[in-house]
């Protein structure tokens, strides 16, 4: 097996991890200072959201120089040191690569918009309007606004599938592809182990600029944005040429003798996700599967998800299990902020077959803040400044991403140890930091943090959980709130029991060799009866 098929991933949002120069913004030296914390937790791979040079209007997902580090985060030297320090600890580093668009302040775009005959004009997607004041076609962006933006100087429109200051590059121009591939090589040469690819499914659009067809759907489904606002976005998302690009980038990584990998941010149904992975496993190595972001806290939900993933993504496919990221409400807010329920979700994440991706702070149960849109720094919140939050919640859209990006809570001092007490952090620290912080939870053996540590240690020490098979058990049907699955390899076999109910359960189990791990209150009696208290779980070796 390749290392990335068994790894565990920790995501850092660099602005919010640790500030070492008292400007209220996290930085690369801050990440370096906390590498031992992540290593000690037990993670192998760190994915860091972008820290390249950027005007920062979308907090560095709008890049103006892909080979320089933004001075607020440090210098190129710091990035190189970060790579070295991570490797020194036998860990891996994944950079975030935004191929779809640049910032409108990138020198390429400045040139491109300067005149119609500039050599870089065709590096972006420019079109004439259908008539004066009429857009070139009906394409709306991923955030469901008109995707075309008018440029007065040349009387043409440029397309942006995200925010208007993030113009989409034109990959139908071979020079663009070459330039972006050179950037990836630049970082691969410096030793990065892989890329998380931002909105990879948006890169190619219809070459003929045909209108997207009408759809009856207004609100997008939770795990896919490709149909919304009365539009089937077939010409702007998941274009077949994106699947081919996945293969090309895969080949680029194959130029390197050590194994690197790609983790794609794409969305769509499983047929589409599999196309990104490639029929011969020659596309993206992994894709995010976002179903867990919209989980229901029930055994049925998790059983169905596992059964589906085992049926559709058998080995060598490797599912990914992710509860949150820098664009989503923190998962603990979806389970009444109950750490006992969170422990069960972690138990699932680290014992299922696949790659767990954990967003910083999930391990301590960091909660969403409640910063209203009108106070948001997030450009999405600013665009929706007066949109009522209850309505947004009802529609299932998350509008102020500041709320899941608040500073990491390291201890109970003012500003939670993220920055000095006298410094104003870029986002206010969440109110609950005196109780929810690393220092406090390390000292409490039953804390969520120590559960994450125990689970990681267990997984890291048990190859069956890293690379073994999974079978969803069906002979516990009488217990509707109980999830049971088997993990097995040639050497060992385990049963994982997770009690999603608020009631104690008494279950008959056979052939138990030993208790391998427990979460919450459990008891295995001599007569093979297993008592599981409400919201508890156990792993038995059989």
Query: Which stretches of the chain bind ligand NOJ, using CB under 6 A?
Result: 58, 61, 98, 162, 198-199, 265, 326-327
Q: Report the DSSP pairing between strands 537-541 and 514-519.
A: antiparallel
* Residue with smallest beta-carbon separation from ligand NOJ: 61
Cα 287 to Cα 264, 281, 317, distances in angstroms: 5, 12, 10
Q: Which residue has the tokens 């709306």?
A: 140
Residues 14, 51: Cα–Cα separation, whole Å: 7
Complex with ligand NOJ: residue 250 or 326, whichever CB lies closer? 326
Annotated catalytic residue 22: no
Complex with ligand NOJ: residue 170 or 493, whichever CB lies closer? 170
Give min distance, CB of 49 to ligand NOJ, in A.
7
Give min distance, CB of 61 to ligand NOJ, in A.
3
Give min distance, CB of 161 to ligand NOJ, in A.
9
Annotated catalytic residue 198: yes
> Given 265, 291, 363, 368, which residue is catalytic?
265
The 8-class DSSP code of residue 224 comes to: B
Nearest partner of 354 among 327, 325, 314, 324, judged by Cα: 314
> Given 198, 227, 310, 481, which residue is catalytic?
198
Give min distance, CB of 33 to ligand NOJ, in A.
25
Complex with ligand NOJ: residue 198 or 310, whichever CB lies closer? 198
Strands, DSSP E only, in 240-396? Answer: 261-264, 286-287, 320-322, 355-359
Residues 256, 262: Cα–Cα separation, whole Å: 13
Residues 143, 366: Cα–Cα separation, whole Å: 27
Sheet holding 156-159, edge to edge: 126-127, 156-159, 148-151
The answer to whether the CB of 447 falls within 8 A of the CB of 441 is: yes
Complex with ligand NOJ: residue 51 or 433, whichever CB lies closer? 51
Torsion angle, CA of 172/173/179/180, rounded to 10 degrees? -10
Give min distance, CB of 319 to ligand NOJ, in A.
20
Cα 494 to Cα 78, 350, 512, 529, distances in angstroms: 44, 14, 9, 17
SS3 28: helix
Which helix H or strand E contains 539, and what residues bound it? Answer: strand 537-541
Phi, then psi, of 368 in degrees rounded to 5: -65, 145
Give min distance, CB of 72 to ligand NOJ, in A.
17
Complex with ligand NOJ: residue 54 or 340, whichever CB lies closer? 54
**Beta carbons within 10 angstroms of residue 147's beta carbon:** 27
Complex with ligand NOJ: residue 168 or 481, whichever CB lies closer? 168
| Residues with active-site annotation | 198, 265
């Amino acid at each position: 097996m390749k290392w990335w098929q068994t790894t565990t991933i920790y995501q850092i949002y660099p602005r919010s991890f640790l500030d070492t120069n008292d400007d209220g913004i996290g930085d690369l030296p801050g990440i370096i200072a906390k590498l031992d914390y992540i290593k000690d937790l037990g993670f192998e791979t760190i994915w860091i959201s972008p820290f390249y040079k950027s005007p920062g209007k979308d907090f560095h997902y709008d890049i103006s120089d892909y080979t320089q580090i933004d001075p607020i985060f440090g210098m190129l030297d710091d990035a190189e040191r970060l790579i070295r320090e991570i490797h020194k600890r036998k860990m891996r580093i994944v950079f975030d690569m935004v191929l779809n668009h640049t910032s409108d302040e990138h020198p390429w775009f400045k040139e491109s918009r300067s005149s119609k005959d500039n050599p870089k004009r065709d590096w972006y997607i420019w079109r004439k309007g259908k008539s004066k004041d009429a857009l070139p076609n009906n394409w709306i962006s991923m955030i469901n606004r008109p995707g075309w933006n008018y440029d007065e100087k040349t009387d043409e429109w440029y397309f942006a599938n995200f925010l208007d200051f993030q113009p989409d590059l034109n990959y139908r121009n071979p020079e663009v592809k070459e330039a972006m591939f050179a950037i990836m090589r630049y970082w691969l040469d410096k030793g990065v182990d892989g890329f998380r690819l931002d909105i990879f499914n948006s890169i190619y659009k219809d070459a003929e600029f045909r209108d997207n067809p009408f759809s009856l759907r207004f609100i997008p489904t939770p795990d896919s944005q490709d149909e919304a606002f009365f539009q089937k976005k077939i010409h702007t998302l998941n274009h077949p040429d994106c699947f081919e690009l996945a293969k090309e980038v895969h080949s680029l990584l194959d130029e390197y003798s050590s194994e690197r990998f790609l983790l794609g941010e794409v969305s769509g149904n499983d047929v589409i996700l599999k196309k990104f992975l490639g029929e011969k496993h020659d596309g993206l190595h992994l894709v995010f599967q976002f179903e867990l972001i919209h989980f229901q806290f029930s055994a049925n939900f998790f059983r169905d998800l596992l059964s589906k993933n085992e049926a559709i993504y058998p080995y060598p496919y490797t599912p990914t299990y992710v509860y949150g990221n820098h664009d989503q409400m923190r998962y603990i807010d979806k389970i009444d902020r109950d750490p006992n329920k969170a422990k069960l979700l972690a138990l699932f994440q680290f014992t299922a077959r696949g790659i767990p991706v954990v967003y910083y702070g999930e391990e301590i149960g960091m909660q969403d803040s409640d910063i209203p849109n009108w106070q948001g720094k997030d450009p999405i919140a600013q665009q929706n400044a007066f949109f009522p939050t209850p309505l947004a919640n009802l529609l299932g859209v998350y509008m102020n991403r500041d709320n899941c990006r608040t500073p990491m809570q390291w201890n109970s001092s003012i500003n939670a140890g993220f920055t000095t007490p006298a410094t104003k952090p870029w986002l206010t620290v969440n109110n609950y930091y005196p109780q929810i912080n690393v220092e406090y939870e390390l000292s409490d053996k039953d804390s969520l943090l120590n559960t994450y540590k125990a689970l990681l240690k267990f997984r890291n020490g048990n190859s069956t959980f890293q690379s073994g098979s999974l079978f969803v058990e069906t002979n516990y049907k009488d217990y509707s709130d109980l999830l049971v699955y088997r993990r097995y390899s040639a050497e060992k076999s385990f049963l994982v029991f997770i009690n999603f109910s608020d009631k104690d359960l008494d279950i008959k189990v056979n052939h138990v060799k030993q208790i391998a791990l427990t979460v919450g209150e459990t008891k295995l009696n001599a007569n093979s009866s297993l008592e599981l208290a409400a919201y508890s779980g156990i792993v038995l070796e059989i």
